């Protein structure tokens, strides 16, 4: 059965439409008291209100059943099917930051404005209570209800979106009151807290920092400045994590602060990688010891501190002896393990306040602080030497090295860290050259001779560039015929002022610095054409021996000259004999073996120099084709005077060489007696001052043409 419809009464609708500007102006004044509306442009405020009033006026024009009217009074009827003006209003106000109360207040103001103007419009008081007014109120209630419903739907959606956003991050996000009680926690924080987050305080996820967080929260609330901090907490799984947190005040419109918002980020990985970067920059990755950079910083710091106390500081420079051989014999991995064990042994010898550092391949330094008596340093150094010389057990193998140690003392020897390091290095060098496995104190003499050595290195480099080196040739005589049959090329260094520098004054330095490679190559480049010229002179191939230093065989530095050597030697073959020491043949490394094989393929002959004073293992004579043995001059020198054993050695070498099909050359022959003895012992060749010292090619050619030395 159809309900009776109310006849439309359009008086208020008409009134609203006719008086809209006045109603809005009235409402406007009222609305201005709403805090959130204060900063909004007047038109936007009015547009919303005008829209709602228009919708209400339209509604009032519609016929209504009694139940529709009742529903409206409770806000349960919908004005239209599509989104109503009121719903749009609610959504808009939510997004404009209005509170629900503000939104309700707007409707109250609208209602009051219409009613006030309606009353002022001179209508009869009785008429005020008529259906129009009731319908108007019902409509406004319905609109208010729709607006609020839309407002809360929008609010829920926005909250959900924010919650999703905040929960998608692994960072902890929170809103807390000033005492740290949680008002909101995102999922990451809620998971850490376990039980509902609202039952917790922020510090509950990190109880050890409750006091710090409490202080920070109050400071932020008071100062309104953003607070920052770091805390470290042990999580439920027992792992320790570092969090960096931010706290920001939520400032109310009246300027007060009841809540704070913030995030806390787990920076444990960042911290770990920062620590790793720091370790890489300051620590040696193999041994874990401070590296050169940190060592320098500590030394500078310790030197400054020592200057403020009455204590001395001692600096030790330790270089392992024979470490290269460990690498060569057992492999680089064993070398690495040895360095690690050395580091541990060194560390175990010193106090926690001292520094052990690895500053290079097999070089370590030790800073000893607060040295009251130098005797203590010496005791410690002896202990270190003993520790390094004690066999190492690496992967089931026994490996042995030793150490050479230089010691310098601050302030006695120097005040600057740079000078101290140089002193200790120079003193180590002295210990090494005095026979290794020992220590040496720095002295001014050491500095002087180190400077002299540096000067020689410098001058030698220049000598090579300025062609100050010369090659002299010493005749090698056939003892049976007394004829010159070969020569040994020997390098000389004549300074521009005419002074001659003897080989023993620069060959050692050249070997240490790798310059020997260049020198050997240069000598060869002179000897090869000389051998050709002398051959033309005599009408038969003439052989010159050149020395090839062990460093020249082993050093990688001079690799570039090796190919140049071979280019020359491939052309001349047996006109060149290469003199090498036993040590070269004992070196089992592939690099040396390869070089010897290349020389042999070129047809070059080999002389073992200084035979009898080195390892004399002789096993290599079986493996490697040698052409000549050179009896060291030390045997020749005293064979007829002080040491008859030298004769026995010489006889033995000659007999053995001949049985192996090798020829023997005696060097350092100075007397007729020595020559005659060697001849009757069966020695094949000899060289020495008795025949001629090394001389220029011109003089040598004259000797050769004269037919005898
Ligand atoms: N296994 C290994 N070897 C290294 C490392 N750093 C440098 N070396 C090697 O260490 C050696 C150091 O050279 P030297 O000090 O001349 O060798 P040494 O045999 O101890 O010589 P002396 O000091 O004269 O006794 C070189 O052969 C380098 O290649 C490393 O980290 N691991």
Select from 244, 272, 300 the last residue of a domain.
Answer: 272
Using pLDDT thresholds of 50, 70 and 90, give the confidence band for residue 123. Answer: low
Within a domain: 3: no
What's the domain range around 137?
A: 11-165
228 and 295 fall within a common domain: no
Last residue of a domain, one of 238, 272, 306: 272
Counting atoms of ligand 1 from 1, which one is nearest the CA of 336?
1
Q: Are residues 555 and 667 in the same domain?
A: yes
Give yes or no: residues 340 and 478 share one domain.
no
CA 514 from chain centre, in angstroms, equals 30
Position with higher pLDDT, 630 vs 614: 630
CB-based contacts of 180: which residues, under 8 Å, 6+ apart? 201, 202, 203, 213, 214, 217
- Across 499-604, the runs of DSSP E, i.e. the strands, are 500-501, 543-547, 576-580
User: How many angstroms separate the alpha carbon of residue 513 from the centre of ligand 1?
Assistant: 15
Identify whether residues 313 and 259 lie together within a single domain. Answer: no
pLDDT tens digit sequence for 407-427? 999 999 999 999 999 999 999
Atom of ligand 1 nearest to the CA of 319: 23
Q: Which of 323, 432, 514 to mutate to test the pocket of ligand 1 (most atoms within 8 A of CB)?
A: 323
Looking at the domain assignment, is residue 702 inside a domain?
A: yes
Q: What gap in Å lies between CA 45 and CA 50, rounded to an integer?
A: 9
Which has the closest alpha carbon to 492: 630, 704, 696? Answer: 696
Give the whole-angstrom CA distance, residue 289 versus residue 641: 57
This model's pTM is above 0.80: no
Residue at 22 is within a domain: yes
* For the CA of 333, the nearest atom of ligand 1: 1
CATH of the domain at 559: 3.20.20.450
Examine the domain organization and report whether 385 and 528 are in the same domain.
no
Residue scoring higher pLDDT (624 or 543): 543
Q: Which residue has the tokens 């051998």?
A: 531
The better pLDDT of the pair 532, 130 is held by: 532
Across the chain, mean pLDDT equals 86
583 Cβ closer than 6 Å to some ligand 1 atom? no
Instruction: Specify the pLDDT at position 576.
Output: 93
CATH of the domain at 384: 3.30.70.270
Among 130-139, 168-177, 472-481, which range has the highest average pLDDT?
472-481
* Same domain (yes/no): 400, 324: yes
SS3 61: helix
Task: Map residue 436 onto helix, strand or coil.
Answer: coil
Residue 515 confidence (pLDDT): 86
Residues 273 and 279: their CA atoms lie apart, in Å, by 9
What's the CA gap between 390 and 531, in Å, rounded? Answer: 52
Instruction: Tell me if 314 is assigned to some domain.
Output: yes
- Whether residue 679 lies inside any domain: the answer is yes
Does residue 174 share a domain with residue 155?
no
DSSP structure class, residue 5 = P
**Mean pLDDT calculated for residue range 501-513:** 85
Residues 209-255: tens digit of each pLDDT: 999 999 999 999 999 999 999 999 888 888 899 999 999 999 887 88
Phi, psi dihedrals of residue 362, rounded to the nearest 5°: -115, 35
Do 223 and 115 share a structural domain?
no
Q: Which residue CA neighbors atom 22 of ligand 1 most closely?
A: 321
Lowest mean pLDDT among 67-76, 181-190, 621-630: 67-76
Name the domain count of the chain: 4
Residue of 362, 388, 406, 435 to test ligand 1 pocket, by largest number of atoms within 8 Å of CB:
362
Q: How far apart are CA 510 and CA 524, in angstroms?
A: 16
- How far is ligand 1, taken at its centre, from the CA of residue 160, in Å? 66
Residue 1 domain-assigned (yes or no): no
Q: Would you state the structure tokens that stand for residue 694, as one six-digit string?
A: 């090394």
DSSP state of 134: H
DSSP string spanning 29-43? HHHTTSGGGTTS-HH
Do 489 and 590 belong to one domain? yes
Cα atoms found within 13 Å of the Cα of residue 696, Cβ hemisphere only? 5
Mutate to test the pocket of ligand 1, among 328, 361, 388, 438 (most ligand atoms within 8 A of CB): 361
Q: Is residue 653 part of a domain?
A: yes
Does 479 lie in the same domain as 403? Answer: no
Q: Please tell me the residue having the least CA distance from ligand 1 atom 32.
A: 336
- What span, in angstroms and rounded, lies between the C-alpha atoms of 272 and 285? 16
Residue whose token pair is 């047996």: 574
560 CB burial (10 A radius; 0-12, 13-18, 19+)? exposed
| 170 or 488, greater pLDDT | 488
**Whether the predicted pLDDT of 454 surpasses 90:** no
Q: How far is the CA of 619 from the centre of ligand 1 (A)?
A: 27
- Specify if 5 maps to a domain: no
Q: Is 657 in the pocket of ligand 1 (CB under 6 A)?
A: no
- Contacts with 86 (C-beta within 8 Å, 6 or more apart), sequence order: 52, 55, 79, 142, 143, 144, 145, 146, 147, 150
| Share of residues in the chain with pLDDT > 70 (%) | 92
Please identify, among 105, 132, 165, the residue that sits at the C-terminal boundary of a domain. Answer: 165
Q: Is 362 in the pocket of ligand 1 (CB under 6 A)?
A: yes
Ligand 1 geometric centre to CA of 328 (Å) = 10
Dihedral sign of CA atoms 208, 211, 217, 219 in order = negative
- Domain of 134: which CATH number? 1.10.490
Domain identity same for 432 and 534:
no
Q: What angle do CA 136, 139, 143 make, to 5 degrees?
A: 140
Among protein residues, the one with the nearest Cα to ligand 1's atom 11 is 324
Ligand 1 atom 5: the closest Cα is on which residue? 361
Beta strands in 159-239 (DSSP E): 172-177, 182-185, 227-234
- Report how far residue 82's alpha carbon sits from residue 234's, in angstroms, rounded to the nearest whole number: 56
pLDDT band at 558 (very low <50, low <70, confident <90, very high): very low
678 with 566, same domain?
A: yes
Banded model confidence at residue 74, pLDDT cuts 50, 70, 90: low
3-state helix, strand, coil in the chain (%, to 5): 55, 20, 25
- What pLDDT shows up at residue 539? 92
- Model confidence pLDDT, tens digit, residues 25-71: 888 887 777 777 777 777 877 888 888 888 888 888 877 777 776 67
CA proximity to 675, closest of 691, 663, 664: 691
DSSP designation for 695? B
Q: Within 10 Å of residue 515's Cβ, how many Cβ atoms?
A: 21
């Amino acid at each position: 059965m159809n309900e009776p419809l109310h006849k439309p009464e359009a008086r208020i609708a008409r009134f609203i439409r006719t008086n809209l500007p006045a109603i809005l102006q009235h409402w406007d004044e009222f609305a201005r008291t709403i805090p959130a509306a204060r900063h909004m442009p007047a038109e936007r405020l009015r547009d919303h209100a005008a829209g709602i009033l228009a919708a209400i006026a339209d509604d009032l024009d519609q016929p209504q059943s009694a139940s529709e009217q009742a529903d409206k009074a409770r806000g349960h009827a919908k004005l239209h099917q599509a989104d109503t003006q009121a719903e749009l209003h609610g959504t808009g106000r939510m997004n404009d930051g209005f509170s629900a109360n503000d939104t309700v207040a707007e409707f109250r103001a609208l209602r009051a404005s219409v009613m006030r103007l309606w009353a002022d419009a001179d209508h009869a008081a009785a008429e005020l209570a008529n259906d129009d007014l009731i319908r108007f109120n019902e409509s406004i209630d319905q609109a208010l209800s729709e607006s609020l419903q839309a407002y809360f739907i929008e609010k829920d959606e926005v909250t959900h979106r924010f919650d999703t956003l905040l929960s998608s991050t692994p960072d902890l996000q929170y809103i807390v009151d000033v005492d740290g009680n949680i008002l909101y926690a995102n999922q990451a924080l809620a998971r850490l807290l376990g039980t509902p987050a609202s039952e917790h305080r922020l510090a509950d996820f990190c109880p050890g920092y409750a006091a710090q967080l409490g202080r920070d929260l109050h400071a932020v609330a008071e100062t309104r400045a953003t607070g920052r901090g770091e805390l470290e907490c042990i999580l439920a799984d027992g792992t320790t994590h570092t969090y960096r947190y931010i706290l920001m005040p939520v400032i109310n419109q009246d300027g007060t602060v009841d809540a704070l918002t913030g995030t806390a980020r787990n920076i444990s990985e960042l911290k770990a990688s920062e620590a790793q970067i720091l370790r890489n920059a300051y620590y040696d990755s193999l041994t874990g010891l401070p590296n050169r950079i940190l060592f320098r910083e500590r030394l500078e710091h310790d030197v400054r501190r020592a200057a403020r106390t009455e204590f001395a500081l001692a600096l030790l420079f330790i270089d392992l002896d024979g470490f290269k051989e460990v690498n060569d014999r057992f492999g680089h991995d064993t070398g690495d393990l040895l360095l690690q064990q050395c580091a541990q042994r060194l560390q175990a010898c010193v106090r926690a306040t001292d520094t052990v550092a690895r500053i290079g391949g097999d070089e370590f330094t030790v800073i000893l602080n607060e040295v009251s008596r130098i005797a203590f340093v010496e005791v410690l150094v002896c202990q270190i030497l003993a520790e390094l010389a004690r066999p190492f057990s690496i992967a089931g193998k026994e490996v042995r090295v030793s150490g050479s140690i230089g010691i310098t003392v601050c302030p006695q020897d120097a005040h600057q860290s740079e000078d101290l390091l140089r002193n200790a290095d120079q003193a180590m060098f002295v210990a090494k050259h005095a026979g290794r496995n020992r220590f040496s104190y720095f002295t001014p003499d050491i500095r002087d001779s180190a400077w002299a050595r540096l000067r020689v290195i410098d001058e030698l480099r220049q000598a090579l560039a300025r062609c100050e080196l010369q090659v002299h040739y010493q005749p090698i005589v056939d003892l049976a015929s007394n004829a010159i049959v070969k020569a040994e090329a020997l390098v000389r260094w004549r300074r521009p002022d005419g002074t001659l520098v003897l080989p023993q004054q620069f060959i050692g330095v050249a070997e240490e610095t790798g310059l020997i490679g260049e020198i050997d190559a240069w000598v060869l480049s002179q000897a090869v054409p000389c051998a050709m010229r002398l051959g033309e002179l005599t009408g038969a191939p003439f052989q010159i021996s050149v020395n090839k230093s062990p460093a020249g065989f082993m050093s990688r530095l001079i690799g570039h000259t090796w190919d140049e050597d071979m280019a020359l030697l491939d052309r001349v073959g047996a006109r060149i004999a290469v003199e090498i020491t036993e040590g070269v043949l004992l070196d089992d490394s592939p690099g040396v073996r390869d070089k010897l094989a290349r020389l042999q393929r070129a047809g070059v002959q080999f002389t073992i120099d200084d035979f009898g004073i080195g390892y004399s293992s002789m096993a290599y004579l079986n493996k490697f084709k040698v052409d000549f043995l050179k009896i060291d001059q030390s045997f020749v020198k005293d064979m007829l005077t002080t040491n008859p054993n030298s004769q026995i050695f010489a006889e033995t070498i000659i007999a053995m060489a001949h049985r192996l099909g090798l020829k023997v050359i005696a060097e350092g022959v100075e007397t007729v007696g020595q020559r005659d003895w060697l001849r009757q012992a069966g020695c094949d060749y000899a060289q020495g001052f008795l025949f001629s010292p090394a001389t220029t090619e011109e003089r040598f050619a004259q000797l050769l043409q004269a037919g005898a030395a």
